[in-house]
Amino acid sequence: MRSGLRRSPRLPTQPPSDNGVQADPVKRLQQAKQMLEQKLISDSEYEAIKAKIVNTV
């Protein structure tokens, strides 16, 4: 295992809901923001997640 590399928690950028439709992007953005505020992900990870979510809208 390499030292210095931190694995971040996985945040689905396009999780399907029960009916196969993508989850609400607002909820996904809120979840990512909460993870950032809790220091679970870095600023750059948040920005990458946000960009993926916005590009799917």
Domain span holding position 46? 25-55
3-class SS shares of the chain: helix, strand, coil, % to 5: 45, 5, 50
**Tally of domains within the chain:** 1
Structural domain includes residue 48: yes
Residue scoring higher pLDDT (1 or 32)? 32
Residue 36 lies in a domain: yes
Residue 50 counted as domain residue: yes
Nearest of 23, 25, 49 to residue 35 by alpha carbon: 49
pTM for this model (two decimals): 0.61
Residue 9 lies in a domain: no
Average pLDDT value for the chain: 79
The tokens describing 52, both together, are 């993926």
In a domain, 16, yes or no: no
Q: For 15-42, how does the pLDDT look when each residue is reduced to its tens digit (9 = 90+)? A: 555 544 458 999 999 999 999 999 999 9
The single-letter DSSP state of residue 20 is: S
Assigned domain for 51 exists: yes
Label residue 43 by pLDDT band (50, 70, 90).
Answer: very high
Report helix, strand or coil for 2: coil
Amino acid at 17: S
